[in-house]
Amino acid sequence: MAGTAGLEARAAELEARAAELEARAAELDAADGLAKLRDRFSLPDGVVYLDGNSLGALPQGVAQRVAEVVAHEWGGELIRSWSTGTWWTAPERIGDKIAPLVGAAPGQVVVGDSTSVNLFKALVGAARLARPGRTQLLVDASTFPTDGYIAASAARMTGLTVTPVDPSQAAEAIGPDTAVVLLNHVDYRTGRLHDLPGLTAAAHAAGALIVWDLCHSGGALPVGLDAHGVDLAVGCTYKYLNGGPGSPAYLYIAERHQAAFDSPLPGWNGHADPFAMTSDYTPAQGAVRGRVGTPDILSMLALEAALDAWDGVAVEDVRAKSLALTDFFLECVAAYVPAGRVESVTPAEHERRGSQVSLRTENAREVMDELIARGVIGDFRAPDVLRFGFTPLYVGFADAERAARTLGHVFG
């Protein structure tokens, strides 16, 4: 009887706590100045979508814009859309739309190719800009695997030696032999936010250049590329920028480096006079020299339409909501999930947290599969991490509460 009474008391306590958290979520959503932005996205009913750190939701207007491009610009105007429409200037025009979201002035961001291709351009370009005689390429040891593969290839091409480093120790590791540093602004697995201003300053103090991967920070938090003197940066557009699956990535080349930036992929689109069809390559002025081949127009213009979702939105407000959402989610997890079943590997400190929460647990793949089956979509990273990405443009506090409550139910 005592055991039954204890279980009933625990159930009543959880019910009361759930009612409190649901009420708090409703109050927070009602006071949220960004809540109305959810209407700018097409989201299925009954789903909590917390995987925007892998693929952002579909913004309203994208489907119509793509249909227009296909039916009218391609179907009707045919090749004339290159010269009389918006196609040819899309890479730099869309780059200028992304620029304020990463703290860059116009003329420094060009869109096209994949993150991997842009990273290769940035690393080889940085190595060619580096001080002569330096041989070290310092690379985030916990980086997304492709960054490591690309870094190794770039090192072989430029005569550098890759040295892996924990980002928390990168400042001390940068030395007189360091030519280039490659770091992720936010760790893709843990959501840990690295010190972009401090590490950029440390690289410059040692006479090195730094390249930042912004895939998990661009569109989620202020980056400040110009303000902090970053040399080069790359990022994808299909996560927090909601550009769609496989949407083209971007390359940032600081204005002070543009005249000397020597791309290892000198394609005709980056030529000063692309239609002259000369055998000698003369790079275009500015960040346009980061272009390579013919742009992927369908994906490019879909991305341009997707960026309309940012009209009138300040990244600082997005960051404030992101921190509030992840704080509330962690509070709800603590309330709903039995003690000891999950461990947060995302830093609790705001200054060290991106816009995701990663929880370590046993049988993580099976747990995530069950969450998805119950309408809460996050993702899994081997071997034992549940990832939940919070995109403040369309995720609300009720979503965070429901996700945590569902996770608690999965654990029983």
Q: Which residues are catalytic?
A: 144, 213, 238-239, 387
Q: Is 376 helix (H, G, I), strand (E, B) or coil?
A: strand
Full 3-state SS string of 83-145:
HHCCCCCHHHHHHHHHHHHHCCCCCCEEECCCHHHHHHHHHHHHHHHCCCCCCEEEEECCCCH
Token pair, residue 200, equals 């950029």
* φ, ψ dihedrals at 292, nearest 5°: -125, -80
Q: Is there a contact between 138 and 181 (Cβ–Cβ < 8 Å)?
A: yes
Helix runs in 130-264, H state only: 145-158, 170-173, 196-205, 255-258
Amino acid at 307: L
Distance of alpha carbon 323 from alpha carbon 286, whole angstroms:
36
Distance of alpha carbon 283 from alpha carbon 46, whole angstroms:
51
Report the candidate in 373, 368, 370 with the shortest Cα–Cα distance to residue 358.
368
Q: Is 311 helix (H, G, I), strand (E, B) or coil?
A: coil
Token pair, residue 352, equals 């060290």
Q: Is 150 helix (H, G, I), strand (E, B) or coil?
A: helix
- The full DSSP string for 196-216 is HHHHHHHHHHTT-EEEEE-TT
According to DSSP, the residues that pair with 253 across neighbouring strands are 232
Q: Beta 209-213 vs 232-235: how paired, if at all?
A: parallel
Distance of alpha carbon 99 from alpha carbon 307, whole angstroms:
11
Burial state string for 38-72 with b = 16 or more CB within 10 A and e = fewer than 16: bebbeeeeeebbbbbbbbbbbbeebeebbeebeee
Report the candidate in 105, 80, 49, 74 with the shortest Cα–Cα distance to residue 239.
49
Preceding omega of 338 cis (within 30 degrees of 0):
no
Distance of alpha carbon 21 from alpha carbon 333, whole angstroms:
11
